[in-house]
Structure 1
Amino acid sequence: MGYASAGIASHRLPADDYAKNFSDLTPPFTPHEAVVAADRCYFCFDAPCVQACPTHIDIPLFIRQITTGNADGAAETILDANIMGGMCARVCPVEQLCEEACVREHAEGKPVRIGSLQRYATDALMAKDQGQPFGRQPATGRRVAVVGAGPAGLSCAHRLAMLGHDVTIFDAKPKPGGLNEYGIATYKTTNDFAQREVDFILSIGGITIRHDMALRRDVTLAQLQADHDAVFLGLGLAGFNSLSGFPPFAEVTDAVPFIEALRQAPDKAAVPVGRKVVVIGGGMTAVDAAVQAKKLGAEEVTIAYRRGPEHMKASAFEQDLAKTSGVTIRHWVTPTGFEGREGRLVAASFTHAPPGLNGSAEPLSIPADMVLAAIGQTFDGDPLDGAMTLSGGRILVDAERRTSVPGLWAGGDCVFGGQDLTVAAVEDGKQAALSIDRALRDAQPSSQAAE
């Protein structure tokens, strides 16, 4: 990633600072801390936390198992519902899901720390390096293709393997994991956890991954349908919304490649960052990019968002994290262009129009030698060649994640209604796998899988 600006540089901080800055955001529980936290659970009947979890983990059960010293049993309870329970414990916005629904939260403003307890149990099991607690059912002889090795694809593949089917995953990247590997802040998933979790998932057997295989470029949908009994699409969002209509500057780029470069860099100090960074957007990607820019040594980092804090997709926790990390958040600002000097970026221009200005707006210039756009990702439907029905620019599926094409399922961010959450993608993959299994078992042995 090359930049023209002299203000963008690497190795801004003392070497020791990088290890500290990119260490675990939330230290894991000790066994004593886990038991103390678990003892706060009321073990509710028809627990609201379970209803709030997209994968419907039996949260009271796994917390009770922790209180009795059965961390392995707790992990199995979690992973049976969500095979990526370890990652979700790290990246799920629990403050908007299970912990927000917790009875303790409503009564005391202090929920049971469900996410930390989930991490405690799953980490304890994975640390034993004894594989997973699930085995495969007898082989069915059926073959399923999964396109995409992100959360939806891996979840689907794992459940299908459990059910006795053989799965081949086709992924465009050189490493599996999808956004878990390439798109999440480094301080949220330390010690190469994303790949360790993938290895854990694949240890069930029956799953083969073919890397650097992009749909249409290297394999077509028609080929996959001809060679397999069913196909699942977990394509994710490959495109970016762009800041169009503005003069181009090399120092203005998308936030996702910035996060990916940092995630994949063996030496974080070598990743260049500006002195004055502006991030445009209001979601989790914007916060991840802004906080990491600060941790790389940027002196001033500003998130510029076009509406108020209550409208930001980033949770209140994430917004507070940005602020405590030294990031300034400016609301009600809309980008209008960029200012340059001698071909180099010097500022980002906005209009500032908070409520109460009666429709008038004030010009605002924020000094910047680097701008990261985090204004959303888009689905690239070109590789589908118009084969199926889309809605809102994404794949339309039913409750079982079936597309309009018999024998073809889809899930995750690529489908209409996708929630841009790892945990929701995992649930899509799981439900699609169960639907595929029903379809394959109902079909005649010689027939192709159908609805």
Structure 2
Amino acid sequence: MNKPDIYSGRLTAEEYQRNFADIKPALSDYEAHIEASRCLYCEAAPCIPACPTGINIPSFINRITTDNIDGAAQAILDANILGGSCARVCPTEILCEQACVRNHEPEFSPVKIGRLQRYAVDNRQSGEHPFIRLPETGKTIAVVGAGPAGLACAHHLARKGHNITLFDAREKPGGLNEYGIASYKLVDSYARQEVDFVMDIGGICPEYGLQLGHNLSLDQLRKQFDAVFLGLGLGGSRSLGFQGEEAKGVEDALPAISSLRQCNDLSQLPIGRRIVVIGGGNTAIDVACQCKRLGAEDVTIVYRRGSEQMSATDHEQAFARENGVRILTWLQPSSLVTESGYITAVQLEKTALDANGKLQGTGELTSLPVDTLYKAIGQHFLVDSFANTNESPELNGNRIVTDDNFRTSLVNVWAGGDCIDKGEDLTVHAVEHGKRAAYAIHHYLQGGSDNG
């Protein structure tokens, strides 16, 4: 057989630049002031509880209208130290902006809270750090995982004067913001710039290339440090479970997104002509749209239920269609067709709900030719993170169990982010987990009860 149609340099330099430019350009001063003036500064503002980190949205928007940009940024960063990246990647359309009273008549158009948040953070005067670190306490905390949860936890504990060692398995910090978000959402190395800003407060010592369960032990950390926070994320990708899954051209979506984000020259990145993505979440949308923007001609997302059940928001689904991505619902893969070690097609089975509402295959089959098939069917927690550990945190399925203060079943270990069994897998939720865990850890270190 001929090798699948996968090669690099499908587009011109100008096309690559255009396709991977910021999809939400920053507001100008004039645009920001006009948009901020639309806020009604509600006394019981519904947008505040709709924000997982509890940013006082009317307060920061009001400060924009009075040209107090530093004050606006301070109000945001006090609640969400990663407010810059969250302004770019948060699904604001289902959070704060969905709650905005401007959604009702006569306008039916919410205040653009996310873009105003970005405007405030981006235009803060970058002189002194906006936070002052308290005198050192002598207490030490190990934060494992330099993603949003770990960074938020480390920052809040550093503000209290504690010393934090920040461990991460990768060579760069940032977690999914650095490795797993579509590059047109976080452009110009913004994720790394934000990490540098977090670190600038002092008291945070990074240690990279150290992975829990491999060259780092939870037992060792518990003995060496006064407290431990686990922001491990979900490091394993789920399998389809079909013969041929090891064939060339069958890939996990997150590593593909990571490769693109770490690539300095997109013209050198090979891409297939015919792409199929299995899954219905934001990762599926991101990898599909990026493939299309790299020059793939035929990109299809396949999801086993209806579009209403997709975890990707309506906004994300519409964005995919605008990018020329086809979304096929009520279909699931039934087998992979391979030849000479390469995937050539995926066979799909129509699905439906039975009388009890349970999803089942109908037996009706179709197939799609494919050069590359991406699996975006979810991630799972790597339980070998606790290999060679005498005492491990309690798990619920493949997530770490925590109490309301994010403490695990181990007395001096807290956890947050995607690896725990609370909330949605969103950056803003991870930030809130890390922040609240930091409050509980500080209380514990001050001699409070061990559950915060």
Q: Structure 1 length normalisation: TM-score?
A: 0.95
Indicate conservation of the 8 Å contact 2:69/2:120, yes or no. Answer: yes
CA contact (8 A) 1:142 1:165 kept: yes
**Aligned-partner Cα distance in 1 for 2:137–2:210:** 26
1:354 Cα shift? 5.1
SS in 2 for 1:339: strand
Aligned to 2:385: 383
What SS does the corresponding residue of 1:412 show, helix, strand or coil? Answer: coil
After TM superposition, give the deviation of residue 34 of structure 1 in Å. Answer: 0.3
| Map of 2:233 onto structure 1 | 236
- Structure-2 change in CA distance of 1:286 and 1:143 (3 Å): same
Alignment-derived partner of residue 65 in structure 1: 63
- How far the C-alpha of 1:134 sits from its partner, in A, is 0.5
- 1:270-328 deviations in Å (ceiling 9; x for gaps): 11110000000000000000000000000000000111111011111100100000000
RMSD between aligned residues? 1.8
Distance 2:340 2:413 in 1: 53
SS at match of 2:333: strand
Query: Aligned residue for 1:109?
Result: 108
The one-letter code matched in structure 2 to 1:21 is N
For 1:392, the equivalent position in structure 2 comes to 397
Corresponding letter in the other structure for 1:160: L
Which one of the candidate residues 144, 147, 152 is aligned to 1:147? Answer: 144
User: Are 1:432 and 2:434 counterparts?
Assistant: no
CA distance in 2, matches of 1:410, 1:317: 31
Paired residues for 1:192-211 under 5 Å: 192-211=189-208
Query: What is the CA-CA distance between 1:418 and the residue it aligns to?
Result: 4.2
Q: Match of 1:8?
A: 6
Cα distance change on mapping 1:326 and 1:356 into 2, 3 Å: farther
The one-letter amino acid of 1:381's match is V
Matches within 5 A, 1:212-251: 212-248=209-245, 249-251=247-249
- Deviation at residue 417 of structure 1 after TM alignment: 2.0
Equivalent residues of 1:5, 1:251 under 8 A apart = no
Greater CA drift, 174-183 or 262-271: 262-271
Give CA-to-partner distance per residue, 1:21-69, whole Å, 9 cap, x none: 0000111000100011111111111211101110000000000000111
Q: Using the TM superposition, give the Cα deviation of residue 338 of structure 1 relative to its aligned residue in structure 2, in angstroms.
A: 1.8
Deviation digits for residues 141-186 of structure 1, max 9, x if unmatched?
A: 1111100000000000000000110111011000000000000000
Q: CA deviation at 1:106?
A: 3.4
Deviation sequence 1:352-389 (CA, Å, 0-9, x none): 23569997442111121110010000001222245121
The yes-or-no answer on 1:176 pairing with 2:173 is: yes
How far did residue 416 of structure 1 move?
1.0
Unaligned runs of 5+ in 1: none
- Paired residue secondary structure (1:353): strand
Report the equivalent of 2:294: 296
Corresponding residue to 1:319 among 317, 320, 345: 317
| Aligned residue among 261, 264, 275 for 2:262 | 264
Asked if 2 retains the 8 angstrom alpha-carbon contact of 1:282 and 1:314, the reply is: yes
Contact 2:352 2:362 in 1 (8 A): no
Shift of 1:8: 1.0
| Partners of 1:422 and 1:81 in 2: CA distance | 14
- Counterpart of 2:122 in structure 1 is 123
Tell me which residue corresponds to 1:441: 446
Shift of residue 191, structure 1, vs aligned partner: 0.4
Aligned partners of 1:5 and 1:345 also within 8 Å: no
Amino acid across the alignment from 1:282 = G
Matched, 1:372 2:374: yes
d(CA) in 1 for partners of 2:415 and 2:198? 20
- Change in Cα spacing, 1:41 to 1:443, as seen in structure 2 (3 Å) is closer
Partners of 1:424 and 1:161 lie apart in 2 by 20
CA distance in 2, matches of 1:131, 1:415: 35
Deviates most, 173-182 or 99-108: 99-108
Quote the offset at 1:190 in angstroms. 0.3
**SS state of the match for residue 186, structure 1?**
coil
1:6 Cα shift?
Answer: 3.3
CA distance in 1, matches of 2:41, 2:84: 22
Contact 1:5 1:369 in 2 (8 A): no
SS of the residue 1:187 aligns to: coil
Quote the Cα distance in structure 2 between the aligned partners of 1:443 and 1:299: 60
Structure 1 pair 450–33 and aligned structure 2 pair: CA distance change class (3 A): closer
> Is 2:346–2:370's contact at 8 Å kept on the other side of the alignment?
yes
Distance 1:434 1:440 in 2: 10
CA distance in 2, matches of 1:45, 1:236: 37
Measure how far apart 1:109 and its partner are. Answer: 2.4
**Structure 2 length as normaliser, TM-score?**
0.95
Q: Which moved more, 1:333-342 or 1:24-33?
A: 333-342
Alpha carbons of 1:240 and 1:359: their partners in 2 closer, same or farther (altered >3 Å)?
Answer: closer
Secondary structure of 2:271's partner? Answer: coil
Q: Larger deviation: 181-190 or 411-420?
A: 411-420
- Relative distance call for 1:20 and 1:136 in structure 2 (3 A) is same
Asked if 2 retains the 8 angstrom alpha-carbon contact of 1:104 and 1:112, the reply is: yes
C-alpha displacement of 1:138: 1.6
Separation in structure 1 between the aligned mates of residue 400 and residue 322 of structure 2, nearest angstrom: 39
In 2, are the aligned partners of 1:131 and 1:203 still within 8 Å (CA)?
Answer: no
CA distance in 1 between partners of 2:329 and 2:420 (Å): 30
The structure-2 alpha-carbon separation of the partners of 1:152 and 1:334, relative to structure 1 and needing over 3 Å to count, comes to: same
